[in-house]
Structure 1
């Protein structure tokens, strides 16, 4: 039986990244691209002004992809300083709906405030109004072989 790879196999470490500007956010966006998550794994803590997602993200940074099948890892994506959350194209009332993250972008409105847009497959989107950009992406499990055993593809 095939065994999942571990971070140690490739001398790799779990990701723990932060973003405080749009350039940093582009890095996090590229690493979170094609992450999937059930709608039940989104949480907005209004009192703490924090919006978080538990993602199953593709390990795009995996240097050992030639040794094993494509991998995913569970990661927490956290946005701080959130003043409001809006969404469109996400079915309400079905926590088992699986969503796929395509891109994360920041649009500054009145520095340092702005909007973070999480673009989802199928024309869905989540928009966060933030006082200032502060984002964290942290791996919280060991990598596992992606059920499809393949990397997602985006035809041009």
Structure 2
């Protein structure tokens, strides 16, 4: 079992990273913005879509992700001060403005979002080594 380490430097790279973090579970208290470092970071339990375990359960891995060159952060649809809040990450999307700047949006189930105003795309995702059998494979209704 190899630990994943990805770097995203443009919108296309970010789509690849987004696919690997789809259905990650994130505690609100495990997200934060370091204004002085211009970095937004989060810890997550990501679902490893490439791993196959018996009975279709899948695998969860502890992972860290951070975004650099962040000018501002906006939260919507959840209380960012809630220490017990838990979110399910659906995807990450980059909306360009004046190149290379734009907005990176982390979209969560139930409509919550984190919007990062960035000077450019630079994101890193790294597995932290811990892995365990998932209780089941995430499923989504197709509307």
Q: Could you tell me the TM-score, scaled by structure 1's length? A: 0.87
Matched, 1:51 2:40: yes
Q: Deviations over 1:6-45 (max 9, x none)?
A: x2xxxxx100000001111011001100001110000111
Task: Give distance in 2, aligned partners of 1:135 and 1:92.
Answer: 21
Which 4+ residue blocks in structure 1 deviate beyond 6 angstroms?
none
SS in structure 2 at match of 1:143: strand
Larger Rg: 1
Structure 1 segment 1-150 matched on structure 2, within 5 A:
7=1, 13-62=2-51, 64-66=52-54, 69-146=57-134, 148=135, 150=136
The CA distance in 1 between the partners of 2:82 and 2:72, in whole Å, is 22
Contact 2:56 2:137 in 1 (8 A): no
Distance between the aligned counterparts of 2:81 and 2:40, measured in 1?
19
Q: For the residues of structure 1 that align with 2:80 and 2:106, how far apart are their CA atoms?
A: 17
Q: Give the structure with the larger helix fraction.
A: 2
2:64 is paired with a residue whose SS is strand
Query: Which structure has greater strand proportion?
Result: 2
Superposition CA RMSD, Å: 1.3
Q: Which runs of 5+ in 1 are unaligned?
A: 1-6, 8-12
Shift of residue 93, structure 1, vs aligned partner: 3.1
What CA distance in whole angstroms lies between the structure 1 residues aligned with 2:129 and 2:5?
A: 12
